[in-house]
Structure 1
Amino acid sequence: MTWDLDTLCHRRVRYDDLMPCRNAFIDTRSPGSDRKENFTIIGPGVAESTDQHVHISEPHGFNVGGARQPDGCLNSQHSHEGAEVFVVHTGRWRLFFGPDREDGTLDISPGDVVSVPTHMFRGFEKLDSGIGFLWVVLGGDDPGRVRWAPNVFELAKQYGLVLLKSGRLVDLDRGEPLPEDAELETAPDAEEIARLVTPSPDRLAQCLVRHEDLRPNPSSMLAAPGVEESSVIAPAASGDGFGPGPIVGWWPHGFHLRMLRMAEGSHTPEYHCEEPEVIFVQSGRVRLVSKAGELVLETGDTFTSPQHWDHQILADIDTELVMVRGGDAPSGPQKRC
């Protein structure tokens, strides 16, 4: 397929054009959580509100979203059925584990990547001053439902929010009626909570890669003068010379995540991917160059590359890109024949 520049532009989501939802979840009015913004960039996400805007609905095998919060703002304790990966774009954050935040914490900073295991309670808070942004990858085309801790339900009732078993959020304070014969979601009981156990600190340490610990693979097909590609999440070996890890996970991911560092003036070889590839600009600025022309990506932008689309990446300044490729064992970048 031939891609024109206008069509490619519609596959780019500018950071400044992100459309937030401020009532995405049942904790939207809970004290400390009422200032957060939720974003669904690719795929349906896990939002409970019909107000959530989806930027790109095309199925990828994974979802991409984001969370933007000021200092002191909380995301309440919850559990996911599928993979949830945080890439820290800006700000310092603290993850809390356990239904009542009793099972420990983990502090993360810009460039750090953490994949929180499924079926355990987690929440997070923005620590430093100003606004911070987490870029988030969720496993699967349907990432499943969020399961909230008991105290989240208790607080929501005080602020007129009710969650249905279907996953829909009803705002009673805004005059939204409960559907006839609606079944209300209930808080997890002691038996369910016991199943959503927090792994040991040693196991959780296997789910984190610090920015300073990234190690480039010189065998990467994208490696070139000034260009280094490092593996972050790899459930299995890929077809382009990367082995499993450093984050493998004992739960399904359905994608690989890497970091691509590019020095000013550097460029990758021309390549394409057979699987979906999503690029996020962690820092810097690049140009994607193809027969269609040039497409610029700035810091904070997200772009989804068409499959089998031949292109090069050129760095105008020192740049760091997050690259997500679909599948447990993707074939990876392929040079143009």
Structure 2
Amino acid sequence: MTPDDMNANIVRYGDLIPCKTAFIDAHTPGSDQKENFTIIGGGVSESADQHVHISEKIGFNIGAAGQPPKCRNSLHSHRTAEVFFVLKGRWRFFWGRWGNAGEVVLEEGDIFNIPTGIFRGFENIGQDYGMIMAILGGDDAGGGVIWAPQVIEDAADHGLVLGDNGKLYDTKAGDHLPDGIAPMPLLDDAALATYPEPSTAEVVPGYVARYWDLVALSDTAPAKVIGADAKLRDRPGFEVDLITRGSAPTDMHPHSHPTVLMPMRGHWKLDYEGGSSATLNPGDTCLIPTGVSHALAPSMTGEASLYRIVPTEDPAGPTVRF
């Protein structure tokens, strides 16, 4: 690969382009300061304003959410996997029909493989702007977002209407539903009854991994974080590893699948075929195409860690439900 080829596959944290109108709660007080990012793949945005940095389909999507303190993402569900790790800040994740079935607080580096089929939301409970990085299963990210009924009702009070085509219309800006497009119907009681209400004790042990536990597991080999035989045993259509200084693959090697590198701490030197190299920093996202030989090593002393994600042949959704 030429340097230009590789640079086209690296999305720098400082170059991320946010969308502030990505979802139906974009005008709802308490959620109206969110910034959403689609880094790789089409994502699940409901807005035509969403910028996609790398549109290649690799079997999963990479995105991010940035929020100031006390800003929350409203209750929603996905048909496929949704995994978050905290890049910056302190975050509370909550779930259930009304968001009160259970909750967990994640610190920087912690990762949460949120079960499908439950309503979930999250908020920045830190003191500064926070960022969480997201992995969404499937090339189409499961066909969009399923909102709790109260979210759709609250949004309508603030001018945003979601059409049954999955697109947002801002009535306060003069938009209206096109002919043949009806408002997205609310889930009825029978449908809502199919959404589990697991407790914190049921969710956290099998779906949350703490950063420092993973660091300890990755001293000589990458820690298997999500996968059939990983710490979080699941088969959501991709596998996730944590790599640290002692487990970095320093020999040149190719992969038989696209590979995504997402640094968490430290600065990483990425060498790739052709004799060129690039430095990856926390918050950057790098897509290494299939068959491209590369090597990876921390470029400075100190703490260094990154998450590595690869697609698998499994369906884009977990095998375990409540």
Same fold (TM over 0.5): yes
Instruction: Quote the offset at 1:291 in angstroms.
Output: 3.2
Corresponding residue number in structure 1 for 2:213: 213
Q: Which residue of 1 aligns with 2:261?
A: 279
Partner secondary structure for residue 180 of structure 2 = coil
User: How far 1:198 moved relative to its partner?
Assistant: 2.3
Corresponding residue of 2:271: 289
Q: 1:315 to 1:159 in 2, by over 3 A?
A: same
Q: Report the Cα distance in structure 2 between the residues aligned to 1:42 and 1:246, rounded to whole angstroms.
A: 25
Report the Cα distance in structure 1 between the residues aligned to 2:128 and 2:220, rounded to whole angstroms: 32
Q: How many residues align?
A: 309
Q: Which residue of 2 aligns with 1:334?
A: none
Aligned partners of 1:14 and 1:302 also within 8 Å: yes
Equivalent in the alignment of 2:318:
none
- 1:75 Cα deviation (Å)? 0.2
Query: Once the two structures are superposed, what CA deviation does each residue of 1:286-314 show, in whole Å capped at 9, x if it has no partner?
Result: 11112331111112100000111111112
Q: Choose from 33, 45, 54 the match for 1:56.
A: 54
**Identity across matched positions, percent:** 38
Distance 2:292 2:81 in 1: 27
Matched with 2:70 is 72
SS of equivalent residue, structure 1 residue 124: strand
Which letter maps to 1:113? I
1:84·1:118 contact (CA, 8 Å) conserved in 2?
yes
| Pair 1:230-2:215 in alignment | no
What secondary structure sits across from 1:156 in the alignment?
Answer: helix
Which structure has greater helix proportion?
A: 2
Shift of 1:272: 1.4
Deviation of the 1:66 alpha carbon: 0.2
CA distance in 1: counterparts of 2:97 and 2:287, whole angstroms: 35
Letter in 2 for 1:214: L
2:236 paired with 1:253: yes
Secondary structure of the corresponding residue to residue 193 of structure 2: helix
Take 1:105 and 1:302, find their aligned partners in 2: how far apart are those partners? 28
- In the other structure, the counterpart of 1:306 is 289
* 8 A contact 1:288–1:311 mirrored in 2: yes
Structure number with higher relative contact order (C-alpha < 8 Å, ≥ 6 residues apart): 2
1:325 paired to 2:310: yes
Q: For residues 179 and 133 of structure 1, what CA distance do their matches in structure 2 show? A: 35
Calculate the TM-score normalised by the size of structure 2. Answer: 0.92
Please, what is the CA RMSD of the aligned residues? 1.8
Cα offset, 1:216, TM superposition: 6.1
5+ residue gaps, structure 2, are 315-322
- Matches of 1:200 and 1:91, distance apart in 2: 24
1:221 counterpart residue number: none
Separation in 2 of the partners of 1:145 and 1:311? 34
Name the CA distance, whole Å, in 2 between partners of 1:257 and 1:191.
35
Paired with 1:273 and 1:297, the residues of 2 have a C-alpha distance of: 19
Q: Scaled by the length of structure 1, what TM-score is found?
A: 0.88
Shift of 1:328: 4.9
Q: Which residue of 2 aligns with 1:239?
A: none
2:317 equivalent in structure 1: none
Name 1:94's counterpart in structure 2: 92
Mapped contact 1:227–1:260 kept (Cα < 8 A): no
Q: Tell me, yes or no, if the aligned pair for 1:253 and 1:328 is still in contact at 8 Å.
A: no
User: Residue 41 of structure 2 contacts residue 61 of structure 2 at CA under 8 Å; is this kept in 1?
Assistant: yes
Q: Which of residues 35, 38, 41 is equivalent to 2:36?
A: 38
Paired with 1:276 and 1:291, the residues of 2 have a C-alpha distance of 15
Shift >4 Å, 4+ stretches: 215-218
**C-alpha distance in 2 between matches for 1:198 and 1:213:** 27
Which whole-Å CA distance do the structure 1 matches of 2:80 and 2:44 have between them? 10
CA-CA distance at 1:227 after TM superposition: 5.7
SS of the residue 2:278 aligns to: strand
Q: Equivalents in 2 of 1:308, 1:267: separation in Å?
A: 16
